A = this chain, B = another copy of it.
């Protein structure tokens, strides 16, 4: 039986933009597991209450419910050990967890400032008041103030990526010759932007650019086919 994945949708139901759900989709593809997505909006808390969560991704795998992209990745490797691994052992998993912590604090935060108003424009009408109120409370300022000076914010995002560049100059993927969960963590952020914003995040001379192309090419262009803005 296919796994059910609750997937954040914009106003258009087929525009699926959560950076965290993208990690889970890539992880499910990596493991070769069948899954069906259920479109979900920010305010539909009741629909995922069964998983004791207020945010997606949430998966339902038979009788098992798992919330949070990191927990889902760890669950998938434990539940399906004969499938390709997301983590090559304990040490790689812990260093990937560090990567996850780093990405949350730097990449995701700095990119959010760049694409925030593009996101706000494209989310469902019924989500807009909730989105504005919850984010303004978190930021301590208005959305417009948080997103001010976009050129500087874009430069900060590009600067935040500095520690991954030496790895991608020498390797096709952060995990080596093939992609692993660290690649999906970083790619989720890029796909979030690609789905919701026409902004050009990186230039072709950047070693991250061909890596992103390789990520978009995986599994017959799975992520490339998603509704978005090819930049």
Partner pick for A94 among B97, B101, B105, B175, CB 8 A cutoff:
B175
A64 within 8 A of partner (CB): no
Report the separation of the CA atoms of residues A175 and B97 in the bound assembly, to the nearest whole angstrom. Answer: 11
Q: How far is the CB of A19 from chain B (nearest CB, A)?
A: 17
Whether A89 contacts B88 by the Cβ 8 Å rule is: yes
Binary per-residue interface labels of chain A (51-86) against chain B in the complex, 1 for a CB within 8 Å, 0 otherwise: 000000000000000000000000000000000000
CB of B167 within 8 A of CB of A97, answer yes
CB proximity to B under 8 Å, residues A97-118: 97-99, 101-102, 105
> Contact at A105–B163, with CB atoms within 8 Å?
yes
A88 to B174, CA, bound (A): 15
Interface size class of A (residues with CB under 8 A): 20 to 34
Tell me which residues across on chain B come within 8 A of A94, comparing CB atoms: 167, 171, 174-176
Q: Copy number of this protein in the oligomer?
A: 2
Q: Does A223 contact B (CB under 8 A)?
A: no
CB-based contact B171/A105 at 8 Å? no
Looking at the assembled complex, report how far the CB atom of A117 sits from the nearest CB atom of chain B, in whole angstroms. 27
Beta-carbon nearest neighbor of A106 in chain B: B163
B163 contacts A91, CB within 8 Å?
A: no
Asked if A91 and B180 sit within 8 Å, CB to CB, the answer is: yes
Rounded to whole angstroms, the CA-CA distance of A117 and B105 in the bound complex is: 30
Decide if A32 is an interface residue (CB 8 Å cutoff): no
Residues of B near A171 (CB, < 8 A) are 94
Determine the chain B residues whose CB is within 8 A of the CB of A105 once the complex forms: 162-163
Q: Which residues in A have some Cβ–Cβ distance to B below 8 Å?
A: 87-92, 94-99, 101-102, 105, 162-164, 166-167, 171, 174-177, 180, 182
For this complex, 19 residue pairs linking A to B, each with C-beta atoms less than 8 Å apart, are: A88-B88, A88-B90, A89-B92, A92-B92, A94-B174, A95-B99, A95-B174, A97-B167, A98-B99, A98-B164, A98-B167, A98-B174, A101-B162, A101-B163, A101-B166, A101-B167, A102-B163, A105-B162, A105-B163
